Chains A and B, each alone.
Chain A
Amino acid sequence: MKFLRPLIIGLGALAIGLTADAAGGAKKSKAPEGGWPFAKVPAGQLDQQSMQRGFQVYKEVCASCHGMKLLSYRNLGEPGGPFYDDAYPNANDNPLVKAIAAEYEVMDATPDEFGDPVFRPAIPADTFREPYPNEQAARAANGGALPPDLSVITKARGKGAEGDGASYVYSLMKGYPSFDEVKFREEPNGEFVNYLEFDDGEKVGELIQPIGVYYNPYFAGDTAPQWSGDPRHKPYGGFLAMPAQLPDGRVEYMDGTEATTAQMAYDVAMFLHWAGDPKQVQRKSLALPVMIYLVLLSILLWFSYKRIWRNVAH
């Protein structure tokens, strides 16, 4: 098929073009070693233990700044969710889910008979409690920056391939420079500055970290204004208003897993990946049967075609 050749070359070129990194010189995020179990073809699986730990990280660390307004507590106990249990097909009956919800106090939608608001413990049907009453409060508490809602964060980063967004969260959370890499000195004018030294062949120089923001190589931004070395070799990444969140041992896992930075980053990314697309379990379990059905149908049609056309020169 001569016809196809240029088409294929062109498509190849197109593919390269579309995969070229667009995000302002941020370091390309990496999936954990061995890849994500949920991104496997033909039938990926979420790791339920990891999601449970990830929820714990979210609840004990992230939830104080980040809301997840598209989720309800019941979602946690639905098929594919972190606390799904065969014994409770209706997530509203799941005692674990009920207990998790009950830890939060929410305002009931209906006021009491005097019109005063009623506060009560949450039930599985309630949506996750928001950390701040409004955007202004959120900004005020975070030096002017707004912590984004995390409901669909894994779909809102990366290039849309399965696991792209999870890899980003994973890389970002464990990508902060370690505590002793961020150095500290007093300038002649009496100001204190934080800085990072780079000395890896090409990148030689100093990166000043402005007050209230934190360097991360995976965050899409620009390091040029803070960089004192060769501008052609400025470091990847940028500065964001969220400090490193997951030093070793930040949470104590209930299942005894050691809470290293990488482990917590992995677990919270797994949890957020589920949260961004909670019906992915259904999607992935339906995928293979549909593909098999279509392939069998196409084989059947191919032979029908051969048979019907057998006496017709064409």
Chain B
Amino acid sequence: MSGHESTYEPKSGFTKWLDNRLPIVRLAHDSFVDFPTPKNLNYWYTFGGILAVCLVIQIITGVVLAMHYTATVDEAFGSVERIMRDVPYGWLIRNIHMVGASMFFLAVYVHMFRGLYYGSYKAPREVLWLLGCVIFLLMMATAFLGYMLPWGQMSLHGANVIINLFGAIPLVGESIQAWLMGGPSVGNQTLQRFFSLHYLLPFMIAGVVILHIWALHVPGNNNPTGQEVQDVEKDTVPFHPYYTVKDGFAIVVFLIIFAAFVFYAPNVLGHADNYIEANPLVTPAHIVPEWYLLPFYAILRAITFNIGPIDAKLLGVIFMFGSIAVLFALPWLDTSKVKSMRYRPVAKQFFFGFVVACLLLSWCGAENPDNPIIKMGEDKLIVTYTDAAGLEGSRVFEEYAPASQFREETVTAGGTASLGIQVAPAFRFLHLSQLMTLYYFAYFLIILPWLGLRERPKGEPDSIHQSILGNEAPAAAPAE
């Protein structure tokens, strides 16, 4: 915390000399060794460290990949395969980078849900939260750009879908589109600029991460009680060794999961179509983004209706970007003074609902919106015909035999007839995604602003140490 005094004492002549000129060792000492950290952080708080590890892993493996990768449409696909086949341990580097992107997002989502649950976005940590949202945006951009590089079918056609979204923006849409593609269509020039930007953005992320940690160290960590540190002695422990060891343990457990994917199922998080070399003339049957972008894709596709002068396509784009924009506005939307949902029994229920909504949105994003989830009734058969007299009509049948008999009779009588399926009404993925989109926005725009004014918090402790002792020794608590 900014208020806390530096305890660093340079010992050798060199460190004293350096400390008077660039107190960088002091900075590191104060930030990562002696930094007073609440005693009561649980494992959900280890994901920050895990994310730092993910970023380092992506940068190191990425730089090595870039040494062997060729960013041209004729060679990109083959060069990635060459890395896997001919570069020593290239298969490992590439698998780590590919799986790493997924693990990075897994970690960032847990980290963000953690922040939502414990109210870490509230004063005095708004800037910290905003910087986190910027990192999240940059990560999505980086992953999208990176996914283009292996130049498979999903790379190309996924990029096409996303770039076309910008075309929906009035006035400037087409210019933005052309500017992103670097030409009239996605081609070699697009691949090269995507590669250049994919190399650049992770370092911008690293820069924002530094600001993020700075913004963390001014107010200090939030914690599961949401109470600020009142007494450094009673409420905190130094970061090292207490949290280096706890984070270290969590990081290694995370790496076990990471390694399980890298070694046993490197391709299971991706899409098989991306092992088909990109071909602009053949569009894959189902274009789906990587799993970590699915909720946003579902929101995009949930909007199938126009509102006033705004058509569905533009509206979908607005909702998709809006779903991220509300995250930026969150510190000012949530009106509750109580940070942690531990003490907000009602808000807690809505929070879990929100987590489920996000998971269901992912599910919707992966499925064809027209597919039924719950069917209401059986599909029927419908014969549409024009009889010999030129009269048009249709008849619905349950069974095949009479339907086909009717068709035959109509045809023999000199008319025309065709048999099709009349799909039974159903609750479809489209409907689920619309409901969940509604909940997603309602959570931020209605529930959190309203609840903060109406709910009654329950059992909030006065301080961090009180909550700890209350947990450990309930009998001793009244004596406090």
Contact = CB atoms under 8 A, between A and B. Distances in A.
A142 interface: no
A295 B355 CA distance: 30
A155 B363 CA distance: 23
B32 to A, nearest CB: 16
A11 B353 CA distance: 13
Interface stretch (B62-70, B162-170, B244-252, B325-333): B244-252
Interface residues of A, number: 60
Q: Considering residues B78, B272, B273, which has the most beta carbons from chain A within 10 angstroms of its beta carbon?
A: B272
A279 B362 contact: no
A162 B256 contact: no
Nearest to A16: B363
A220 to B, nearest CB: 7
B291 A312 contact: no
A283 B237 contact: no
Interface stretch (A88-96, A240-248, A302-310): A302-310
Interface of B: 39-40, 78, 81-82, 84-85, 90-92, 95, 117, 237, 241-242, 245-246, 248-249, 252-253, 255-256, 259-260, 263-273, 275-276, 285-286, 291, 352-353, 355-356, 358-360, 362-363, 366-368, 379, 381, 400, 419-421, 468-469, 472
Contact of B81 (A152, A230, A287, A298): A152
Contacts of A279: 84-85, 90-91
Contact of B352 (A6, A158, A284, A308): A6
B263 A291 contact: yes
A297 interface: yes
A186 to B, nearest CB: 21
A69 B78 CA distance: 9
B253 to A, nearest CB: 5
Given A11-B359, A279-B84, A294-B259, A229 B245 contact: no
A313 B468 contact: yes
Given A286-B92, A294-B256, 17 more contacts: A10-B358, A10-B359, A13-B363, A17-B366, A22-B368, A23-B285, A155-B272, A158-B272, A161-B267, A232-B421, A283-B91, A287-B264, A290-B263, A298-B252, A298-B256, A308-B241, A309-B246
29 contacts: A10-B355, A10-B358, A10-B359, A13-B363, A17-B367, A22-B285, A41-B264, A75-B85, A152-B275, A156-B272, A157-B272, A161-B265, A230-B400, A231-B381, A231-B419, A232-B381, A232-B400, A232-B421, A277-B91, A279-B90, A283-B95, A286-B92, A291-B259, A291-B260, A291-B263, A294-B255, A298-B253, A301-B245, A313-B472
B346 to A, nearest CB: 15
A290 B271 CA distance: 26
Given A161-B268, A279-B91, A298-B252, A18 B355 contact: no
Interface in A264-300: 276-279, 282-284, 286-287, 290-291, 294-295, 297-298
Q: Considering residues B253, B273, B368, which has the most beta carbons from chain A within 10 angstroms of its beta carbon?
A: B253
A140 interface: no
Interface of A: 3, 6-7, 9-11, 13-14, 17-18, 20, 22-24, 41, 69-70, 75, 148, 151-152, 155-162, 164-165, 220, 229-232, 276-279, 282-284, 286-287, 290-291, 294-295, 297-298, 301-302, 304-305, 308-309, 312-314
A305 B246 contact: yes
Given A70-B85, A230-B400, A290-B263, A155 B356 contact: no
Contacts of B267: 155, 160-161
Nearest to A7: B355
Contacts of B95: 283
B359 A312 contact: no
A24 B285 contact: yes
Given A284-B263, A301-B245, A156 B276 contact: yes
A295 B291 CA distance: 28
B64 to A, nearest CB: 16
Contacts of A282: 91
Contact of A230 (B276, B362, B363, B381): B381
B40 A314 contact: yes
Nearest to A278: B85
A13 B359 CA distance: 8
A156 B275 contact: yes
A292 B85 CA distance: 26
Nearest to A19: B366
Given A20-B367, A231-B420, A279-B85, A302 B360 contact: no
A279 B272 CA distance: 18
B285 A220 contact: yes
A26 to B, nearest CB: 11
A251 B155 CA distance: 39
Contacts of B355: 6-7, 10
A75 B81 CA distance: 14
B350 to A, nearest CB: 12
Nearest to B423: A232
A160 B270 contact: yes
A297 B252 contact: yes
A148 B153 CA distance: 14
A304 B245 contact: yes
Contact of A308 (B245, B252, B367): B245
Nearest to B371: A20
Contacts of A231: 381, 419-421
Contacts of B419: 231
Contacts of B358: 10
Contacts of B84: 277, 279
Nearest to A15: B363
Contacts of A232: 379, 381, 400, 421
B39 A295 contact: no
A283 B92 contact: yes
